[in-house]
Amino acid sequence: MRRSILSFLSGAALIVAALAVGPAAAEGHHEKKPEVHAWSFAGFFGSYDKSQLRRGFKVYKEVCSTCHSIKMLAFRNLAQPGGPQFSEKEVADLAASYKVKDGPNESGEYYDRPARPSDRFPPPFANEQAARAAMSGAYPPDMSVLVKARGYGRGFPTFLLDALPGLSYQEHGADYVASLLKGYTEPPHGVTVPDGQFYNAYMSGNRIGMPPPLSDGAVTYDDGAPQTVDQYSKDVTAFLMWVAEPHLEARKHIGQGVLAFLIVFALLLYFTKRKIWSNVAH
């Protein structure tokens, strides 16, 4: 009996030790936890900052869109309420500066024409293979839902809060993308990065096939916001968050309306109950 308990315990100890050492030994690297940002769209009353979305769009247009598509985004979306809210004229001019494929025409041919507000953003590459061929094998993912598709575990104790509806923190993906954009550094001593790859503190495995896309001063802002990698990263991430969740504000407004209704309803019930029972002796 005692021997079987002993062997059980030592077996369990071995498993625990293997679990503790295993991943670290197998991977030999560790990505940093994304920095937590103060997003305007976080929380129960959160909403997008229109100027930030406009700046973020500029960063996307001038930098990211040379490699990343946003297939779900049509030009006219940029004029919708809750978004960057460009004017109809601005959107029409912007669309006209892009070419899209259309056809077939009467002679059965496909042709290029200037885009219209109802068109979607033309992708930078014809297909995934063309993108990989241009990017030494790596594929720049489409950005339609990218911010919502990335996340990370916040660990104890915050993950307990994250499980509660209403209190949960939903900006993991945004924190990750913004941190990733700022996370390029020299590799630590003794770490080698293969050609065509770059060291990034936040990328899983610390190696990424995307060259550092941002540098201070690369995009000109006309609203006086700082032209720094830090600011660009936050702005473009906010824009991509809007792209992935354009109806966030409407959703939060419904929640606020429901809560306000419940409060009023509870008060009415309370006073009705008082009135009904007021003549009844205790």
Closer CB to ligand HEC, 139 or 261, in the complex:
139
User: What is the C-alpha separation between 78 and 168, in angstroms, rounded?
Assistant: 29
Smallest distance, ligand HEC to C-beta of residue 106, A? 38
Smallest distance, ligand HEC to C-beta of residue 146, A? 6
Smallest distance, ligand HEC to C-beta of residue 250, A? 25
Q: Is 172 annotated as a binding residue?
A: no
Three-state DSSP class for 213?
coil
For residue 169 the two structure tokens come to 């923190």
Closer CB to ligand HEC, 78 or 177, in the complex:
177
211: left (phi over 0), alpha (psi -120 to 50) or beta: beta
- Interacting residues with ligand HEC (CB under 6 A): 59, 63-64, 66-68, 135, 138-141, 146, 150, 177, 180-181, 203, 208-211, 213-214, 236
Q: Is 67 annotated as a binding residue?
A: yes
CB atoms within 10 A of CB 140: 22
Query: What phi and psi, each to the nearest 5 degrees, are found at residue 184?
Result: -80, 125
Q: Shortest CA distance to 174 belongs to which of 148, 153, 144?
A: 148
Smallest distance, ligand HEC to C-beta of residue 211, A? 5
For residue 146 the two structure tokens come to 């990218």
Three-state DSSP class for 228?
coil
User: What is the C-alpha separation between 248 and 257, in angstroms, rounded?
Assistant: 14
Q: Return all residues near 46 (Cβ < 8 A) that are at least 6 apart.
A: 39, 40, 248, 252
Three-state DSSP class for 232?
helix
Q: Is 64 annotated as a binding residue?
A: yes
Smallest distance, ligand HEC to C-beta of residue 58, A? 11
Q: Is the peptide bond before 104 cis (omega within 30 degrees of 0)?
A: yes
* Beta strands 111-114; 198-199: pairing state: unpaired
Number of H helices, E strands in the chain: 9, 4
Closer CB to ligand HEC, 67 or 95, in the complex:
67
Closer CB to ligand HEC, 78 or 229, in the complex:
229
Q: Is 210 annotated as a binding residue?
A: yes
Closer CB to ligand HEC, 22 or 28, in the complex:
28
Q: Shortest CA distance to 242 belongs to which of 154, 172, 144?
A: 144
Smallest distance, ligand HEC to C-beta of residue 236, A? 5
Smallest distance, ligand HEC to C-beta of residue 70, A? 11
Task: State the binding site for heme c.
Answer: 64, 67-68, 210
